[in-house]
Amino acid sequence: MDLTGKIAILTGVSKGIGRATAEALLAHGAIVAGWGRTAPTGLRHERFHFFACDVRDEVAVQEAYVNTRRELGEEIHVLVNNAGLGISGEVDGFSSDDWKLMFDTNVHGLFYCTKAVLAQMKKQQLGHIINICSIAGTTGIEKMSGYCATKFAVRGFSQSLYKEVRADGIKVTCLYPGSTETNFFDEIPGTAANASMMQPQDIAATIIYALQTPFNFHLVDIEMRPLQPKK
């Protein structure tokens, strides 16, 4: 897909992978609708538009979708489901509220946003949905059972969705990044972000690559890992 003039909705736009993806989309000519609870600091561009949205709230998602189409145009070409969070802890001491928070954000929010755009993408017979999953969606991780459970859900949703909508000209790509140097690790005890990890720009570049594939095929699952991780 040539991204010039295409409308891309991007959730979790304020920092990390979301911020880097917004900048990459803009660099390739897209019109970016950034959805999030917080606007990215200092990101000012004539083709960037911020819409306040808590993806955990389906009504808020619907409002952001209506506002996006009213301000930017009826067609929606790209959705990047990036919003998410991780909370660590052993199962027997894990907060039920934290468990619900992760599922509301990582799974339910992704579903609400995807559901919002599908009718228009089917009408167009064109669209691309990118779901940011994690290596945690492919293997269990000690003291990260809740986060892994949400990402396994994203994996299953993505693999089912692509089979459901491929006949409508809609691509679905699920990315599984390994360790990436973002603020994700701020709340994970015993793990600190470091320069040997992948960079947010690496994930953003892969998203652009997937979006620019020719119409006749799409990349379904992409696993990414740092080459020389810090021991």
Which alpha helices (H) appear in the chain, and where do they start and end?
16-27, 58-72, 96-102, 109-124, 145-165, 200-211
Structure tokens at 170: 């809609």
Is 176 one of the catalytic residues?
A: no
Please list, in sequence order, all residues whose beta carbon lies within 8 angstroms of the beta carbon of residue 88, skipping any fewer than 6 positions away. Answer: 143, 144, 147, 187, 188, 189
- CA–CA distance from 168 to each of 93, 95, 127, 132, 142 (Å)? 45, 41, 9, 22, 40
Q: Considering 147, 162, 176, 209, which one is annotated as catalytic?
A: 147
- CA–CA distance from 128 to each of 16, 23, 100, 197, 204 (Å)? 21, 18, 28, 27, 15
Distance CA 62, CA 54 (A): 11
H/E run at residue 51? strand 48-52
Please list, in sequence order, all residues whose beta carbon lies within 8 angstroms of the beta carbon of residue 116, skipping any fewer than 6 positions away. Answer: 61, 62, 65
Residues classed as catalytic: 147
